[in-house]
A and B are shown apart, each in its own frame.
Chain A
């Protein structure tokens, strides 16, 4: 075994410019499924894994955020580059594998040269050689190896082409590196002179001239490689600048970045994205929904009407089922965002709205984090690391929790189904898009207010900059997008199976016990009415009701009662649980209809105790939607906000300001609507 000759397991770090294919290669080597995106800056954190067993070589492999050069340009870049030299957790790399986009050799070699000059142990991986070939060019590996004095391998991390060769080269270089006395790589000085950079580029241009040649598609390239190359250079000394931009990209950009229509198309694309979530998911959702309704019904029949049967049917099946019926929506949300990400359009979106965003203190680079905020605030807040300006970054983090994340989707979907019956599902789709637009507008408004009036919330000032590569358009790789979607959706399902199941059980417990048996004189009622009366009597004597007494005063101004209040408490751990709580509190099992139909039916019948007024009305539902749009009810978001901003100040402000805003605006909406006659 090779490992026996090594003292410790070697560490390989993948380094390269943004969007050069690091994560794609990392996933192939490790068998993991980290997200790859056609946008520069997809990875923002180091992640570690082991090389897959099948390569017969034990090593740890580290994926890193893309960097343009070894000289940092922002504190985040500095951290990222420092970790390259010596990662605080994973240590000093034995080998650096640099990924270089072969179709952009002259730009990407800068980093490679810097790493080699800094005396790292380097292996070069040329990615995207397929793109270079399509443009009619090829690279001579022996020449490039000679020029750089390090091993070079062509690899396609999507298909695995060239991986075996890469493993051999990695092994060889690590063993060689271990034989030499270890020297620490040299740090680059932050004040590096302009001329030095220009000098680097001169060298690189020379190298490029020597290694890149026009490939003749009709001939056998391996035979004619050298001949072609020589001819080419002799005949056409200017050839090197003609690698050129992908023609399709230029054509598509003529439309999507049209001087006048570009922005209109941008808003159109965004609206389609969000409306289709509702429309596409509708039929699938009904399927899943009836399955859970049926399951809950069968469980009651099978296990009988005792505490155990009730626990399984309500606590477990309805509780988690209420959340799981929204899996189709979640899948479609991730699928559509994923497709959009993989086309290369996102960088254009960032460019298109840089101007308006910079007016309110954000940056074009805020766009992608904000967009992923519609999926989940946690990765979105981490993604803000690609914003070099500290102030803009903090402001982006500040407003991300206001964007409607996927955990809110079940809640909105339920409310919209309540407001609009099935026959009007298309309106629900439009209103959902409306909610997304509304949450985006309020987020940007709040950003501009904070930026303008309140330097206490965000104090930093810094040079604002927007430099972003617009990658070539691609037809999205369905397999890549599907894998990403699968993993994101599984995470949602797992939450339903863990946190949400747990909370459902707690709520079930609180609503079922102390197992009060009311004496009801049911002689003058139908059986159904009697059951309902018993149900509500039981609930009003439950532990949940005791808890509810404290919440009642807070809920009354919103036209709601303690039952909704109790359902809102667990949402601070997971917003989706609101739907489960409603299902449990309003007791929805007992017949064969779909879970959602039963929840909505029970919601329609619910009245506020003592007054006989309906609990869920158009006004109170709108109020609740508004509450959910604003309030920050997610502990994990607070934790990541604390981590990324470096103190508790911003997360605490977010918690109090947003939750208070949700409450107050909901109050205003409910009572305003009532004033104008909408109940």
Chain B
């Protein structure tokens, strides 16, 4: 299974699971990255990190490292 950090620019994915062992995982869940949600990688900073996803009608920027705890289908 892939993680959100591996999505390509513009690619969509459905969240399958959040890896609870990451220290930021609870905050990621709280801001709306929950299983079943569709997300899309819509922006990248010039350094390709952080990356921004559309989720629940908003744009949220997170670091690649943090995106890697979001498992997508």
A-to-B contact residues, CB < 8 Å: 68-69, 71, 73, 103-104, 106-107, 110, 192, 194, 197-198, 201, 241, 243-245, 249-250, 253, 257, 259-260, 262-263, 347, 351-356, 364, 463, 465-470
Interface contact B27-A104, CB-CB below 8 Å = no
With A257-B45, A470-B59 as given contacts, are A351 and B28 in contact (CB-CB < 8 Å)? Answer: no
Can you name the residue of chain B whose Cβ is closest to the Cβ of A198? B34
CB atoms of A469 and B60 under 8 A apart: yes
Answer whether A259 and B56 are a contact pair too, CB < 8 Å, given A465-B63, A467-B27.
no
Q: Which residues of B contact A107 (CB under 8 A)?
A: 31-32, 56-58
* Residues of A contacting B45 in the complex (Cβ-Cβ under 8 angstroms): 257, 262-263, 351-355
**A262 and B46 form a contact (CB under 8 A):** yes
Q: How distant is B34 from chain A, measured CB to nearest CB, in Å?
A: 5
Q: Please give, as numbers and ranges, the residues of chain B lying within 8 Å of A463 by CB-CB distance.
A: 23-24
Write out the residue numbers on chain A whose beta carbons fall within 8 Å of the beta carbon of B62.
466-468
**Contact partners of A194 in chain B: CB under 8 A:** 18, 20, 25-26, 29
Contact A364 B50 (CB under 8 A): yes
By the criterion CB–CB under 8 Å, are B27 and A73 in contact?
A: yes
In the bound complex, how far is the Cα of B55 from the Cα of A245, in angstroms?
Answer: 9
The interface residues of chain A lying within 8 Å CB-to-CB of B46 are 259-260, 262-263, 352
A198 lies within 8 A of B50 (CB): no
Instruction: Write the nearest CB–CB distance from B32 to chain A, whole angstroms.
Output: 4
Is B60 a contact partner of A468 (Cβ separation < 8 A)?
yes
Nearest to A358 among chain B residues (CB) is: B63
The answer on a CB contact under 8 Å between B44 and A259 is yes
The answer to the question of B43 belonging to the interface, with a C-beta cut-off of 8 Å to chain A, is yes
Residues of B at under 8 Å CB distance from A? Answer: 9, 18, 20, 23-32, 34-35, 38, 42-50, 52, 54, 56-63, 66
Q: Taking the nearest CB of chain A, how far is it from the CB of B7, in angstroms?
A: 14
CB distance from A356 to the nearest CB of B (A): 7
Most B C-beta atoms less than 10 A away, residue of A103, A104, A250, A355 = A355
**Minimum CB–CB distance for A79 against chain B, Å:** 17
Docked CA distance A68–B60 (Å):
13
Chain A residues contacting B30 (CB-CB under 8 Å) are 68-69, 71, 110, 197
Within the assembled complex, what's the spacing in Å between the Cα atoms of A244 and B57?
5
B23 lies within 8 A of A106 (CB): no
Whether A241 lies near B38 (C-beta < 8 A) is yes
Q: Given A257-B43, A263-B45, A467-B63, list of 7 further CB < 8 A pairs? A: A71-B30, A104-B58, A107-B57, A107-B58, A194-B20, A354-B63, A467-B27
Complex: A249 Cα to B52 Cα, angstroms: 13
Selected A-B contacts with CB under 8 Å, 22 pairs: A104-B57, A106-B32, A107-B32, A107-B56, A194-B18, A197-B30, A198-B29, A198-B34, A201-B34, A245-B57, A259-B48, A260-B46, A347-B61, A351-B50, A353-B45, A355-B45, A355-B47, A463-B24, A466-B66, A467-B24, A467-B66, A468-B60
Which B residues are CB-close (under 8 A) to A353? 45
Flag if A351 contacts B54 (CB, 8 Å): no
Whole-angstrom CA separation of A258 from B15 in the bound complex: 26
Given known A-B contacts A197-B30, A465-B27, A470 and B60 have beta carbons under 8 A apart: yes
Q: How far is the CA of A662 from the CA of B9 in the complex (A)?
A: 46
B29 lies within 8 A of A245 (CB): no
User: Which 4 pairs between the two chains have the least Cβ-Cβ distance?
Assistant: A355-B47, A263-B46, A463-B23, A470-B59
Q: Which residues from chain B contact A241 at a C-beta distance below 8 Å?
A: 38
User: Which residues of chain B are near A465, meaning CB under 8 Å?
Assistant: 23-24, 27, 63, 66
Kindly provide the distance from the CB of B67 to the nearest chain A CB, expressed in whole angstroms. 10
Q: Contact: A466 with B50, CB < 8 Å?
A: yes
Evaluate contact between A243 and B57: CB separation under 8 angstroms. yes
A436 to B34, CA, bound (A): 43
- Contact at B26–A245, with CB atoms within 8 Å? no
Chain B neighbourhood of A257, CB < 8 A: 43-45, 52
Q: Nearest residue in B to A359 (C-beta to C-beta)?
A: B47
Complex-state Cα separation, A470 to B49, whole angstroms: 15
Which residues of A sit under 8 angstroms from B66, Cβ to Cβ?
Answer: 465-467
Q: Is the CB of A253 within 8 A of B43?
A: yes
Cα separation A71 to B30 with both chains bound (whole Å): 9
Are B20 and A253 touching (Cβ within 8 A)?
no
- CA A259 – CA B50 in complex, angstroms? 11
Chain A residues lying within 8 Å of B25, measured Cβ to Cβ, are 194
Tell me how far the C-beta of B17 lies from the nearest C-beta in chain A, rounded to whole angstroms. 10
Report which of A71, A249, A351 forms a contact with B61, defined as CB distance below 8 A: A351
Distance, CA A107 to CA B18, complexed state (A): 17
Q: How far is the CA of A56 from the CA of B58 in the complex (A)?
A: 39
Q: Closest CB of chain B to A135's CB: distance in Å?
A: 8
Please name all residues of chain B whose beta carbon is closer than 8 Å to the beta carbon of A260 when the two chains form the complex: 46
